[in-house]
């Protein structure tokens, strides 16, 4: 569109051309003695005259150029550039799994598009501007710290790889704010409160699809955020698996696989879902309907697979219908061979424990031995304890001389080391809090449980308090090397020397007691019959524990690459390269057999929901997305007018001086 | 049309000859490279031995010689007859032809005035030396009013005649010269004063003169605006003689080309003249007549 300036200029063009026409084309008559010589002179020029004339009519050419320039200037040409304000820029590039969605035109992935857009911004930087590139998934990577070198920036930008991780922008924001908001000492009142460095304000440009956790407790400070949503504007077609689990309810139904299928599209979809066990198709469900924006559960029967199973089996659940985001179309799981926990219970005839272990459920999960505390003194116990024969030993009001090489439970006593201390028993004991989130307290309701007397516990630094009374912790679990010790500060049934039975708590009368014992067997005894290992996500560390002691193990990733790991003590190994989804196997180096399998799944409903978020919440601020990148027309017409003016001056000079350059 | 712009200024008030110039001219004489037989005895030293007082040579007497020229003193001394030879002094035909076309009116002073000045100066030299002087404006008419003058006393008549001349007689050079040649048969020196701006060419005119066996001098007069034009812009050039039009857009390139053309034209004329024994001389109206006569024409051998 022409502005008023443009119209004025446009109006000036015709009179100017007219003026120049008069100046040039009205030939002045002049009488000369003879045209003889002039005619002779012109005759030479008349040879291919039109070109000669054009070649010589510099004035005419200049006039045409002038008119063209002015007309061009009036059209107001500009280019769609992007203007970056400020002189320091931080580009945050989301490289999480959802950025691999190919919902953009041309099948481009979101990450590629984000990299392109960032490259454009880098190109449009002024020469003095510095920029920094941070990529983030569930962790942040400073790809390039502040530099003015644009080619370096673009090279580093191109090096950003797609990951299969979830996204968490918090760490990236911290990294970004490092320079913009330099830290201060904590005590503002102190004289020593010094600002570490000068704050350098910067523009923060976030290229993301918005599928990130909202960041609380973060102040942007000197960062001026700009959120550039990446992704198709209409809701992308994606149906994905957002949860997958294989479990045995230990009842009649048997082994089952459960999955959640999420449809983040705004249309209903029906998909074909297939379940593969050990690479072969085991079950399928055709035309599984999922409504728009809905999540539906699906289950497959795997019963019968456990019979006679000796080595773990890989399981793969697959949605056969392709969509723009393929990562969530596959989920992995494993079926582990059934294994019972070996539990030793050292008690003086505690009937409630016996009752609990006799239930069907715990009988399936565990293989339990009941012994009197006197068993502690036998050689058999010492050998078994040292060799790690037991998975879990329950000490009911007794204390071993040395801690066994397994997990332990102490009821009414504390482990024989300096870390655990118990106070005198205090009355009354009122339970005020339990840690419901801990696996040991899963489904354990203590509200109606009466406890008469209990000791207050203090344990190692990493102790987790599971139950707290008005006086303090009365139940806690703490690590010991690779094992865990659960200490319960109160006995349940006490026996006097005369053998009289005295109840200190009515806990065994409540449903929560067998549930608690079952949790103990599963969590501390390794009593789960199979381990779906659903918690492992791409990029997370995987803790591997071998059955038999071994100094090194080999882990093979889904692509078949192997890596050897050294032990970190206590048969524990840490694998940190689980960057892609799939089934990883632990290979026993001696037998070259797959000893363990562990699946790595993203299973993140947020990543699977490909709808581009319109805003990001960072701390108390909401950053609204600029859906289209902000176009800024770079105006060229002032330059054209300037050039036209120069041409005009040149023309005038030539006209007056008859100078040919 | 501006006369200033075209360089046409008539400075007729300026006298044709100043007293200083006259006194300067009196010491000069016209020289011909050829020997002409004069019609009357004049002051001009002829190559012929004649009867002037100036002694030239002796030669042996042969029968039939005029006895009056025998040197009797020599006879008395040597007893041989010798004839005393004296230098002959004769008059000379001097023609000054002025181109009277309209183009001669240009320049400041105009070429025509310059031509008249030059003709008057040369004519005066001739009058002083008792030559037969005829100053004439070129004309295609079969008759001419130009007087034949002789003797210093006729200066005023010559000037009167020259003053009466008006340019604007547009005939071709060839026609006018042909007409002149028919009317005048005398041999001698001919000075043609013209700007050579004749589209039909000057070659045939010069051939007529060469055929007459005259000692021809061609004085090519150009005004300064013709030599170095100072014009600007887009112009329509009008030829003052035939109304011909040439449209030009003045540029440095065009001016350069014009100069080249003029230089070539002059060179052609010079070469044409040189091949035919004609003395060619180009002069600008800026060059004073006295300097032209006393220096340049002297170098060319027309005067001494």
Q: List chain B residues with CB under 8 Å of A24.
A: 234
Among candidates B226, B235, B251 on the partner chain, residue whose Cβ is nearest the Cβ of A27: B235
**How many angstroms separate the CA of residue A30 from the nearest CA in chain B?**
5
Rounded to the nearest 10 degrees, what angle do helices A36-46 and B252-275 cross at? 120
User: Does the CB of B237 have a partner CB in chain A at under 8 Å?
Assistant: yes
Q: What is the pLDDT of residue A192?
A: 59
Interchain contact A188–B (C-beta under 8 A): no
Contact A294, A269 (CB under 8 A): no
Instruction: Give yes or no for residue B263 having a pLDDT over 90.
Output: yes
Tokens at A155, concatenated: 């090279």
B243 and A CB contact within 8 Å: no
Does the beta-carbon distance from A35 to B253 stay under 8 Å? no
Distance CA A172, CA A162 (A): 16
Choose from B232, B261, B268 for mutation: most chain A CBs within 10 A: B261
Interchain proximity A32–B106, CB inside 8 Å: yes
Report the Cα–Cα distance between both ends of chain A, in Å, rounded: 38
- Tell me which of A30, A52, A55 to substitute to probe the interface with B (most B C-beta atoms closer than 10 Å): A30
- Establish if A430 touches chain B: CB-CB under 8 angstroms: no
What residues pair up with A554 in beta bridges, in sequence order?
A564, A587
Terminal Cα-to-Cα distance of chain B (whole angstroms): 44
Cβ separation A37–B251 shorter than 8 A = no
Smallest Cα distance from A62 to chain B, Å: 15
Tell me what pLDDT residue A70 has.
79
Q: Is the pLDDT of residue B273 over 70?
A: yes
Name the DSSP letter for residue B147: P
pLDDT band at B147; cut points 50, 70, 90: confident
Q: Which residue of A has its CA nearest to B199?
A: A36
Low-confidence ranges of chain A (pLDDT < 70): 1-3, 14, 17-18, 20-26, 44-60, 76-86, 179, 182-198, 248-253, 338, 527-535, 545-549, 568-572, 590-591, 626-635, 656-661
> Does the pLDDT of residue B31 top 70, yes or no?
yes
Q: What is the pLDDT of residue B52?
A: 59
B218 confidence band (pLDDT: 50, 70, 90): very high
> Which ipTM score applies to this complex?
0.76
Q: Does A54 touch chain B (CB under 8 A)?
A: no
pLDDT band of B270, cuts 50, 70, 90: very high
Over chain B, what is the mean pLDDT? 82
Distance from CA of A120 to the nearest CA of B (A): 50
- A43 CA: distance to closest CA in chain B (Å): 10
Nearest CB partner across the interface for A30, out of B5, B244, B255: B5
Least confident among B1-5, B128-132, B150-154, B169-173: B1-5
- Nearest neighbour of B6 by CB, restricted to A24, A32, A35: A32
Size of interface A-B (CB pairs under 8 A): 105
Q: Are strands B132-137 and A483-488 parallel, antiparallel or unpaired?
A: unpaired
| Max Cα-Cα span within chain B | 89
The single residue listed with the structure tokens 């840490």 is A574
Q: Which positions in chain B touch A33 (Cβ < 8 Å)?
A: 102-104, 106, 111, 195, 197, 223, 226, 240
CB distance A660–B251 less than 8 Å?
A: yes
User: Quick one: pLDDT at residue B41?
Assistant: 56
Does A38 contact chain B (CB < 8 Å)?
yes
Taking contacts as CB-CB distances below 8 angstroms, the residues of chain B near A659 are: 252
User: Is some CB atom of chain B closer than 8 A to the CB atom of A26?
Assistant: yes
pLDDT single digits (tens) B46-97: 555 565 566 777 888 888 888 888 889 989 999 988 888 776 656 678 899 9
From B5, B104, B247, residue closest to A27, measured CB to CB: B247
As a whole number, mean pLDDT of residues B153-175 equals: 87
Report whether B43 contacts B89 (CB < 8 A). Answer: yes
| Nearest-angstrom CA–CA distance, B230 and B237 | 13
Cβ A660–B253 below 8 Å, yes or no?
yes
Rounded CA separation B146/B119 (Å): 13
pLDDT at residue A435 in the model? 85
Domains (range + CATH), chain B: 14-37+91-300 (3.40.50.410), 42-90 (no CATH)
Contact A634, A81 (CB under 8 A): yes
Calculate how close chain B gets to A46, using CA atoms only, in Å: 11
As a whole number of angstroms, the distance between CA A296 and CA A271 comes to 12
Q: Which residue of chain B comes nearest to A58, CA vs CA?
A: B251
Q: Which residues of B touch A63 (CB under 8 A)?
A: none
Chain B: give the shortest CA distance to residue A53, in Å: 10
Q: Answer whether A229's CB lies under 8 Å from A627's CB.
A: yes
Q: CA B30, CA B190: separation in Å to the nearest integer?
A: 11
pLDDT band at B221 (very low <50, low <70, confident <90, very high): very high
Using CA atoms, how far residue A348 sits from A382, A384, A488, A494, in Å, is: 19, 20, 17, 9
What is the reported pLDDT for A22?
Answer: 60
- The pLDDT confidence band at residue B113, using thresholds 50, 70 and 90, is very high
Q: Which residues 267-286 of B have a C-beta within 8 angstroms of A?
A: none
* Radius of gyration of chain B from its Cα atoms, rounded to whole angstroms: 23
Q: Do B257 and A32 touch (CB under 8 A)?
A: no
Q: What gap in Å lies between CA B49 and CA A572, rounded to an integer?
A: 151
- Return the DSSP state at B68: G
A31/B240 CB distance under 8 A? yes
Smallest CA-to-CA distance from A654 within B5, B230, B247, B250 is with B250
| Predicted local confidence at residue A48, as pLDDT | 47
Q: What distance separates the 2 farthest-apart alpha carbons in chain A?
A: 156
pLDDT at residue B193, rounded to an integer: 93
Residues of chain A in contact with residue B6, where contact means CB-CB under 8 angstroms, are: 30-32
């Amino acid at each position: 569109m022409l502005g008023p300036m443009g119209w004025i200029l446009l109006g000036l063009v015709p009179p100017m051309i007219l003026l120049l026409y008069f100046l040039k084309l009205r030939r002045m008559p002049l009488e000369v003695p003879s045209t003889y010589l002039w005619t002779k002179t012109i005759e030479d020029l008349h040879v291919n005259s039109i070109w000669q004339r054009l070649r010589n009519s510099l004035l005419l050419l200049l006039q045409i150029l002038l008119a063209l320039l002015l007309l061009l200037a009036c059209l107001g040409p500009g280019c769609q550039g992007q203007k970056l304000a400020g002189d320091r820029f931080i580009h945050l590039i989301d490289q999480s799994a959802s950025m691999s969605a190919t919902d953009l035109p041309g099948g481009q992935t979101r990450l590629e598009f984000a990299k392109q857009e960032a490259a454009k911004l880098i190109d449009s930087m002024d020469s003095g501007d510095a920029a920094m590139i941070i990529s983030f998934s569930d962790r942040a990577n400073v790809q390039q710290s502040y530099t003015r070198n644009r080619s370096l920036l673009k090279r580093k930008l191109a090096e950003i790889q797609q990951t299969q991780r979830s996204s968490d922008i918090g760490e990236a924001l911290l990294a970004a704010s490092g320079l913009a908001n330099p830290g201060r000492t904590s005590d503002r009142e102190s004289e020593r409160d010094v600002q570490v460095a000068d704050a350098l304000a910067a523009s923060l440009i976030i290229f993301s699809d918005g599928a990130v956790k909202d960041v609380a407790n973060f102040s942007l400070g000197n960062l001026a955020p700009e959120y550039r949503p990446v992704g198709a504007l209409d809701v992308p077609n994606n149906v994905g698996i957002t949860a997958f689990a294989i479990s045995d309810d230990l009842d009649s139904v048997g082994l089952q696989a459960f999955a959640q299928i999420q449809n983040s599209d705004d249309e209903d979809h029906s998909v074909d879902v297939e379940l593969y066990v050990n690479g072969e198709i085991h079950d399928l469900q055709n035309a599984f309907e999922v409504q728009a924006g809905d999540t539906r559960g699906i289950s497959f029967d795997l019963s019968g697979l456990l019979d006679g199973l000796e080595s773990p089996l890989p399981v793969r659940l697959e949605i056969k219908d392709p969509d723009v985001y393929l990562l969530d179309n596959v989920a992995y799981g494993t079926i582990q061979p059934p294994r019972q926990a070996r539990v030793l219970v050292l008690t003086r005839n505690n009937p409630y424990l016996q009752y609990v272990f006799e239930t069907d459920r715990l009988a399936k999960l565990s293989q339990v031995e009941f012994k009197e505390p006197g068993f502690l003194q036998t050689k058999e116990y010492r050998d078994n304890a040292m060799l790690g024969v037991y998975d879990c030993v329950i000490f009911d009001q007794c204390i071993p001389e040395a801690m066994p090489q397994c997990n332990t439970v102490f009821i009414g006593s504390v482990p024989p080391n300096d870390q655990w201390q118990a106070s005198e028993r205090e009355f009354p004991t009122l339970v005020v809090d339990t840690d419901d989130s801990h696996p040991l307290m899963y489904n354990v309701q203590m509200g109606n449980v009466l406890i008469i007397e209990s000791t207050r516990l203090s344990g190692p630094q990493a102790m987790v308090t599971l139950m707290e009374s008005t006086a303090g912790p009365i139940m806690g679990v703490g690590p010991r090397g690779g094992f865990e010790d659960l200490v319960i500060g109160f006995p349940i049934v006490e026996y006097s020397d005369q053998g009289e039975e005295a109840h200190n708590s009515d806990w065994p009368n409540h449903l929560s007691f067998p549930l608690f014992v079952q949790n103990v067997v599963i969590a501390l005894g390794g009593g789960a019959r199979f381990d779906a290992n659903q918690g492992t996500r791409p990029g997370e560390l995987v803790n591997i524990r071998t059955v038999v002691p071994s100094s090194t193990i080999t882990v093979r990733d889904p692509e078949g690459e192997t890596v050897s790991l050294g032990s970190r003590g206590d048969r524990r190994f840490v694998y940190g390269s689980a960057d892609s989804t799939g089934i990883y196997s632990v290979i026993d180096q001696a037998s070259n057999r797959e000893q363990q399998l562990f699946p790595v799944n993203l299973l993140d409903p947020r990543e699977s929901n490909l709808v581009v978020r319109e805003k990001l919440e960072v701390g108390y601020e909401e950053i609204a997305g600029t859906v289209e990148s902000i176009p800024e027309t770079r105006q060229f017409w002032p330059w054209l007018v300037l050039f036209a003016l120069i041409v005009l001056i040149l023309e005038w000079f030539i006209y007056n001086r008859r100078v040919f350059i | 049309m501006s006369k200033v712009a075209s360089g046409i200024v008539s400075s007729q008030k300026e006298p044709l000859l100043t007293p200083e110039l006259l006194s300067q001219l009196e010491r000069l004489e016209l020289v011909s490279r050829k020997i002409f037989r004069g019609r009357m005895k004049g002051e001009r030293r002829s190559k012929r031995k004649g009867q002037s007082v100036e002694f030239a040579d002796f030669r042996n007497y042969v029968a039939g010689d005029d006895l009056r020229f025998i040197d009797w003193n020599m006879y008395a001394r040597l007893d041989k007859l010798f004839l005393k030879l004296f230098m002959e002094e004769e008059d000379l035909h001097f023609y000054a032809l002025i181109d009277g076309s309209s183009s001669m009116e240009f320049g400041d002073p105009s070429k025509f005035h310059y031509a008249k000045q030059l003709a008057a100066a040369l004519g005066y030299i001739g009058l002083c030396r008792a030559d037969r002087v005829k100053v004439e404006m070129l004309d295609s008419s079969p008759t001419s009013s130009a007087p034949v003058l002789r003797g210093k006393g006729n200066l005023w008549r010559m000037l009167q005649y020259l003053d009466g001349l008006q340019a604007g007689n547009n005939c071709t050079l060839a026609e006018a010269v042909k007409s002149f040649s028919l009317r005048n048969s005398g041999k001698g020196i001919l000075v043609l004063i013209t700007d050579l701006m004749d589209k039909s060419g000057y070659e045939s005119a010069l051939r007529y003169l060469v055929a007459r066996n005259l000692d021809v001098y061609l004085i090519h007069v150009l005004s300064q605006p013709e030599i170095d034009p100072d014009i600007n812009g887009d112009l329509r050039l009008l030829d003052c003689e035939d109304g011909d039009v040439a449209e030009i857009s003045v540029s440095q390139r065009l001016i350069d080309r014009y100069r080249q053309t003029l230089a070539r034209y002059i060179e052609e004329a010079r070469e044409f003249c040189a091949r035919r024994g004609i003395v060619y001389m180009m002069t600008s109206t800026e060059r004073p007549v006295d300097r032209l006569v006393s220096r340049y024409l002297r170098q060319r051998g027309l005067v001494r």
